[in-house]
Chain A
């Protein structure tokens, strides 16, 4: 096993030069992850350009000490920093350089200290630090380095602990930042930092050759992807404005004061630097105002103003290319967050809230149809009473509409599942109609009044069970009613049973029923999913 006890300036430079090459390999993947703070898809590129500028300066360091090289890298990063993540990266380098100041070379424990300082500096650069970003990753990684350093170890072992903690931290970013969760991605800046650290570790381990033939790992989100609903996108559609960046050079500059002044002028503000050089990054609707103020303080350099709405469009195009090339969208009616998630996860482009007691209007459906990106739309009404409403949409839009008349949630899910990515609009409609008929549905709900139906006497609030819309069972307990309804079916010919339990039903009750079915029919594949639907204790699909 290779061991590295200390690193001098030259090795520091080579190590991060290799890391920069490593980063370059996944730039486009990182760009594609970019959804925060603005989904403009340039995070990887920005980090790469920042690292390049940093490494270029490293070659201009006055001597080969770790101190001099780190200083040069920090300066280079500051001068060349691009975008949010680039500026934060330059702060990380600044922290490293401060900690390594005066050192000819550094050990594993020096590295751990430098990383800690880097993390502190990264947070300091932001007026409003957000967790679930590169900041969290640098903090958690540096803390792992500290822990490892406490029990000793060479530079490699410290770096290994750092990289492994960074990996976990990146995977966890979607749990901290909702916008990542909705997009089903990890934080791009955090991923970029992880890739840089991983590249440095490969170099330390002498794996230069291996790096030539490999590509960096893009970390998968620790929580599953749920498609973002178009409704939500539409509601949040505010202009992103201009990404405004520049470098201020002068004397007696005060970054803190400048940061205070600019705070109200926009979002994602980062002000970093010292008395003679300050780098500013801000997202603002009025870049002129910001620039005007800055020119009154010192001279301006490297001014860059980019229209982020334009970038965002480009990003959306890029995302489109990555998604399966499907020109047919599906609009589904469902109520309950669980059921909505199920439909979204299976590829429904829009979910219109509604069901038995709250039928959506034609207008609601039309709105969803107009909102989805494609010209061909399939509507899944998922309720008998909504089928007719759905058929009205056809005459109100120029888009091509097909209604697959699903009368229950299980029919809708079966139809959506059967969607064929390779087939055309007409064929898909046929496939989905066929799939809908292959499934049986049981719904268990509570009677709203006392009545007599199908020869069954029903008291108000009793549990009642429907098999494909026909009343088949009545009882005091929802579980008993479900069992009775299931008994009407020949389960020996069944393969899969999926139980969606409602908002008012306890998961343990749902588990109980699945256990009892499993005992009686061990060959069945039974799944219990939280549907979260109102009114219905159970919606069950039998395939």
Chain B
């Protein structure tokens, strides 16, 4: 029986990818005041960004309760006896803790492994995709777990933000704090380092941001997987994918949207690129 891969909606894995590779994606909850939505289930990413920019209330996000994971474990247990859960960084959300609690409570016969990816968005998504591909190819739980742990340091995420406004409002920004308070309007480039958002550099224009993302990818000589994500600018994402086609087969580049949780800080106009470096032989 093949290992089943479970991740959360912050992996930015679209339903197409999830279905194709048999990945179960558990949604986090996004709330605007008293209204709550299941990420990508009862609220689309477009709706989220519309509300983020038009609604006066600041959205909050909540990890899936352990019960959600238990339900999924029960369901998956009908078809497998090995489950691997890969969550977003435990420093950005309590999802990892929630899964650990669920694993404790779960009484089924499945073997369950839980991994804190220490990253987010397609940085996490590409790891989950690699795991799902290995599972489909017949690897067992120990093998897939090992593969994920080896893939983690090879997964690189970099994001361009159009504005610091949302980052400043959100507060939960770890080491990116240093970017705030600049007296010029700057467009930051951020990464996830040790599980936290961390500044890389600062640019003055969107065009420079797109160049930066392109050059970031160009810096890798062996790419296994590549993903491009946007918040509200599909055209810019298409253009970037077109450009990246000179470095990596265009049709193999995963396109997705930046999920609400990261979007709360990134704001509209943000773009992100994730690279899963090939393992050196």
Among residues 167 to 185 in chain B, which have CB atoms less than 8 Å away from a CB atom of chain A?
A: 168, 171, 175, 177-178, 180-185
The residue on A at minimum CB distance from B169 is A220
- Say if the beta carbon of B139 comes within 8 Å of chain A: no
On whether the beta carbons of B183 and A220 are closer than 8 Å, the reply is: no
A contact residues around B200 at 8 Å (CB): 420-422
| Distance, CA A227 to CA B177, complexed state (A) | 12
On whether the beta carbons of B175 and A324 are closer than 8 Å, the reply is: yes
- Residue in contact with B182 in the complex, picked from A323, A324, A345, A495, CB distance below 8 Å: A345
| Distance, CA A301 to CA B200, complexed state (A) | 53
- Residue in contact with A345 in the complex, picked from B94, B171, B181, B203, CB distance below 8 Å: B181
- Residue in contact with A224 in the complex, picked from B175, B180, B202, B205, CB distance below 8 Å: B180
| Distance, CA A345 to CA B180, complexed state (A) | 8
- Say if the beta carbon of B199 comes within 8 Å of chain A: yes
- Say if the beta carbon of B191 comes within 8 Å of chain A: yes
On whether the beta carbons of B183 and A421 are closer than 8 Å, the reply is: no
B contact residues around A338 at 8 Å (CB): 183
Closest chain B CB from A538 CB (angstroms): 16
Render A324-351 as a binary contact track against B, CB cut-off 8 A, 1 for contact. 1100000000000010011001110000
On whether the beta carbons of A323 and B181 are closer than 8 Å, the reply is: no
The residue on B at minimum CB distance from A218 is B171
- Residue in contact with A184 in the complex, picked from B62, B181, B205, CB distance below 8 Å: B181
- Residue in contact with B183 in the complex, picked from A213, A496, A529, CB distance below 8 Å: A529
Known: A217-B171, A322-B177, A422-B191. A498 touches B198 (CB 8 A): no
Prevailing SS type, chain A contact patch? loop
Among residues 158 to 204 in chain A, which have CB atoms less than 8 Å away from a CB atom of chain B?
A: 184
On whether the beta carbons of A324 and B191 are closer than 8 Å, the reply is: no
- Say if the beta carbon of A260 comes within 8 Å of chain B: no
Prevailing SS type, chain B contact patch? mixed
On whether the beta carbons of B178 and A323 are closer than 8 Å, the reply is: yes
On whether the beta carbons of B181 and A527 are closer than 8 Å, the reply is: no
B contact residues around A420 at 8 Å (CB): 200-201
On whether the beta carbons of B181 and A342 are closer than 8 Å, the reply is: no
B contact residues around A217 at 8 Å (CB): 171
Among residues 496 to 525 in chain A, which have CB atoms less than 8 Å away from a CB atom of chain B?
A: 496, 498, 525
On whether the beta carbons of A417 and B203 are closer than 8 Å, the reply is: yes
B contact residues around A543 at 8 Å (CB): 204-205, 208
- Say if the beta carbon of A418 comes within 8 Å of chain B: yes
- Say if the beta carbon of B207 comes within 8 Å of chain A: yes
| Distance, CA A155 to CA B186, complexed state (A) | 45
On whether the beta carbons of B202 and A346 are closer than 8 Å, the reply is: yes
| Distance, CA A194 to CA B269, complexed state (A) | 35
- Residue in contact with A527 in the complex, picked from B168, B185, B199, CB distance below 8 Å: B185
| Distance, CA A418 to CA B212, complexed state (A) | 11
Max count, chain A CB within 10 A of own CB: residue among B181, B185, B193: B181
Closest chain B CB from A60 CB (angstroms): 37
| Distance, CA A324 to CA B201, complexed state (A) | 12
- Say if the beta carbon of A291 comes within 8 Å of chain B: no
The residue on B at minimum CB distance from A498 is B184
The residue on A at minimum CB distance from B190 is A421
The residue on A at minimum CB distance from B208 is A495
Known: A220-B168, A342-B183, A527-B185. A347 touches B203 (CB 8 A): no
| Distance, CA A218 to CA B173, complexed state (A) | 13
| Distance, CA A529 to CA B193, complexed state (A) | 33
Interface extent on B, as a size class?
20 to 34
Closest chain A CB from B230 CB (angstroms): 20
Render A292-322 as a binary contact track against B, CB cut-off 8 A, 1 for contact. 0000000000000000000000000000001
Known: A341-B183, A422-B191. A324 touches B205 (CB 8 A): no
| Distance, CA A525 to CA B206, complexed state (A) | 10
Q: Count the A residues whose beta carbon is within 8 Å of the partner chain — how many?
A: 34
- Say if the beta carbon of A467 comes within 8 Å of chain B: no
Closest chain B CB from A196 CB (angstroms): 20
B contact residues around A345 at 8 Å (CB): 181-184
On whether the beta carbons of B204 and A325 are closer than 8 Å, the reply is: no
B contact residues around A227 at 8 Å (CB): 181
Known: A324-B199, A325-B175. A496 touches B181 (CB 8 A): no
Known: A218-B171, A220-B168, A220-B171. A417 touches B181 (CB 8 A): no
Known: A220-B168, A420-B200. A226 touches B191 (CB 8 A): no
| Distance, CA A341 to CA B181, complexed state (A) | 10
- Say if the beta carbon of A419 comes within 8 Å of chain B: yes
Known: A217-B171, A218-B171, A220-B168. A495 touches B184 (CB 8 A): no
- Residue in contact with A417 in the complex, picked from B168, B175, B180, B186, CB distance below 8 Å: B186
| Distance, CA A448 to CA B98, complexed state (A) | 71
Known: A345-B181, A345-B182. A421 touches B204 (CB 8 A): no
- Say if the beta carbon of A491 comes within 8 Å of chain B: no
| Distance, CA A470 to CA B73, complexed state (A) | 71
The residue on B at minimum CB distance from A221 is B181
Closest chain B CB from A177 CB (angstroms): 17
- Say if the beta carbon of A372 comes within 8 Å of chain B: no
| Distance, CA A303 to CA B214, complexed state (A) | 63
The residue on A at minimum CB distance from B158 is A422
A contact residues around B177 at 8 Å (CB): 322-324
Closest chain A CB from B182 CB (angstroms): 5
10 tightest Cβ-Cβ pairs between the two chains A and B: A225-B181, A495-B205, A224-B181, A496-B204, A345-B183, A324-B178, A345-B182, A324-B175, A420-B201, A417-B202
A-B CB contact pairs (8 Å), 21 listed: A213-B94, A220-B171, A224-B183, A324-B175, A324-B178, A346-B183, A346-B186, A347-B178, A417-B204, A418-B201, A419-B201, A420-B200, A422-B198, A495-B204, A495-B207, A496-B204, A496-B205, A527-B185, A529-B184, A543-B205, A543-B208
Given known contacts A345-B182, A422-B193, A529-B183, what 8 new A-B pairs fall within 8 Å (CB)?
A226-B183, A323-B178, A325-B175, A345-B181, A346-B182, A417-B202, A495-B207, A543-B204
